Amino acid sequence: MIRRHRLANRRRHETIAIEHEGQRYKVGLGRELLCDGSCGGSVRYGPIAEVFITAQKVNTQADVLAKDGAILMSLALQFGCPLDVIAHAMKRNPDGSPASPLGRAAAYLVEENSNV
């Protein structure tokens, strides 16, 4: 059985802002600290392991759906699904652009990872 990678209680958290179809969203990204031995030297952070999304207007249908989708994306990442696979599976518009705020966030994260 595949097991979920449980995250440490303390992690690095980054926040980015995205816009999708005229709506603004805040996307929070959690990364774990990667420690070799005692962590006395340089600090490194692992890949994105959790995602949070909040719409500009909280408790709206868009906000609730974005938050639920982010929970599912986080669980998929913690069970080992690669971010590019998640992004590729998301629905697209006819022009190829992401059809949802979660899809936009996933595409952004894949692009950022490819630039590292």
Q: Which of 116, 64, 92 is nearest to 106 (CA)?
A: 92
Q: Residue 37 is which amino acid?
A: G
Q: What is the pLDDT of residues 90-100, one digit of tens each?
A: 999 999 999 99
What pLDDT was estimated at residue 116?
A: 57
Nearest to 16 by CA among 53, 58, 69: 53
Task: Please give the backbone phi and psi of residue 23, each rounded to the nearest 5 degrees, phi first.
Answer: -105, 140
Q: 75-99 burial string, b = 16+ CB within 10 Å, else e?
A: ebbeeeeebeebbeebeeeeeeebe
Q: Structural domain boundaries of the chain?
A: 12-114
* Lowest mean pLDDT across 6-20, 66-80, 82-96: 6-20
> Residue 112 and residue 93: Cα distance in Å, rounded?
21
Is 57 a residue whose pLDDT tops 70? yes
pLDDT given for residue 103 in this prediction: 93
